[in-house]
């Protein structure tokens, strides 16, 4: 069974032509490829201001940050255990809490992705 047909208003049946030099086209194709998009999809998203998908480098950075956040969380858990046992907060507790907040804020941010491949 094939894919369901799109409603008429969702069909992309209008073309826009654009003249570019070979170098300009190559640059746009390079940028589209960095996002894993076709040239048409890349240009459409850029022209309409749509969010760009994460690049492979951004995904790796997020994974590394998630690992760092996990390590900070383990340290925070150990510090809280000591605090609960002794009744005194460890001196580095405020910094740990701030680190966790900053990392979580970045991980969950929904800022539109901007093309950083100029």
- Whether 33 maps to a domain, the answer reads yes
The residue behind tokens 């999809």 is 41
What mean pLDDT do residues 86-97 have? 88
**Domain extent for 89:** 56-108
Do 78 and 104 sit in the same domain of this protein? yes
The whole-number pLDDT of residue 112 equals: 39
- Whether 9 maps to a domain, the answer reads no
Q: How far is CA 74 from the centre of its chain?
A: 25
The residues near 44 (Cβ < 8 Å, ≥ 6 apart) are: 50
* Number of structural domains in the chain: 2
Which residue, 41, 39, 58, 59, is CA-closest to 116?
A: 58
Tokens of 114: 């901007």
Do 63 and 104 sit in the same domain of this protein? yes
Do 47 and 60 sit in the same domain of this protein? no
Report the share of the chain in percent with pLDDT over 90.
32
Do 45 and 67 sit in the same domain of this protein? no
Higher pLDDT, 96 or 42: 42
Given a cut of 50, whether residue 65 has pLDDT beyond it is yes
Do 23 and 36 sit in the same domain of this protein? yes
Given a cut of 80, whether residue 115 has pLDDT beyond it is no
Rounded to two decimals, the pTM is 0.51
The residues near 105 (Cβ < 8 Å, ≥ 6 apart) are: none
């Amino acid at each position: 069974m094939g894919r369901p047909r799109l409603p008429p208003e969702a069909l992309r049946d209008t073309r826009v032509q654009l003249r570019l030099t070979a170098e300009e086209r190559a640059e746009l194709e390079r940028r589209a490829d960095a996002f894993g998009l076709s040239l048409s999809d890349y240009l459409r998203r850029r022209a309409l201001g749509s969010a760009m998908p994460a690049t492979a480098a951004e995904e790796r950075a997020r994974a590394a940050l998630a690992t760092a956040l996990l390590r900070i969380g383990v340290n925070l858990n150990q510090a809280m255990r000591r605090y609960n046992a002794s009744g005194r907060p460890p001196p580095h507790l405020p910094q740990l809490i701030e680190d966790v907040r900053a990392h979580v804020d970045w991980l969950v941010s929904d800022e539109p992705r901007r093309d950083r491949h100029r």
